[in-house]
């Protein structure tokens, strides 16, 4: 099934969708690699942010991967992409992303989820559209009242859903 461009199966898993996104990102990387022989840092950042990242970040709050293999495969895309910069080819992945001032894709997904929660809690979205976030009324938090209530689940199906994975 496909809903808003995100493919899922009858078990509400996104394994096929994640695989398709990874393959599409690798094909875009191949196109970039074939067409840009010498790539400087500015060109790489521009191409990476405009052509590769959108392939693996579209609707990530919906399909956010929770399996370690999926997380590694998605991060491997950016790792391979950073090797296209000739000047930084011999550096480690961590040194390269620090030098290029690029966050990891895992960090970007987490940041995107936090931005969505901020928008929901501050009523930036229309109320009927936004998911209901349940706040923990009994929590003693310093400075704010935005502590979300934790839920326990018997199976993994809903455990990683956006509203509960935060």
Written as tens digits, the pLDDT of the chain (166 aa) is 655 666 666 666 677 777 888 899 999 999 998 998 888 889 888 988 899 888 887 777 666 677 777 778 888 888 888 888 888 888 888 898 899 998 888 888 888 888 888 888 777 877 776 667 766 666 666 666 666 666 666 666 555 555 555 5
**Cα separations (Å) of 7 from 4, 41, 84, 160?**
8, 34, 30, 17
Model pLDDT, residue 140? 65
Model pLDDT, residue 154? 63
Please check whether residue 6 is in contact with residue 62, taking contact to mean a CB–CB distance below 8 angstroms: yes
pTM for this entry? 0.69
Beta strands in the chain (DSSP E): 2-3, 6-7
């Amino acid at each position: 099934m496909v809903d808003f461009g995100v493919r899922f199966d009858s078990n509400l898993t996104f394994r096929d969708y994640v695989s398709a996104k990874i393959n599409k990102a690798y094909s875009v990387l191949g196109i970039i690699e074939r067409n840009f022989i010498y790539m400087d840092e500015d060109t790489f950042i521009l191409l990476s942010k405009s052509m590769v990242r959108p392939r693996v970040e579209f609707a990530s709050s919906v399909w956010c991967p929770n399996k370690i293999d999926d997380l590694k495969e998605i991060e491997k895309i950016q790792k391979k992409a950073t090797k296209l910069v000739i000047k930084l080819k011999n550096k480690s992945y961590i040194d390269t992303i620090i030098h290029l001032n690029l966050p990891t894709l895992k960090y970007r997904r987490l940041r995107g989820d936090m931005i969505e929660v901020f928008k929901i809690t501050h009523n930036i979205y229309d109320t009927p559209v936004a998911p209901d976030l349940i706040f923990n009324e009994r929590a003693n938090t310093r400075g704010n009242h935005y502590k979300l209530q934790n839920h326990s689940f018997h199976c993994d199906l809903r455990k990683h859903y956006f509203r509960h994975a935060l």
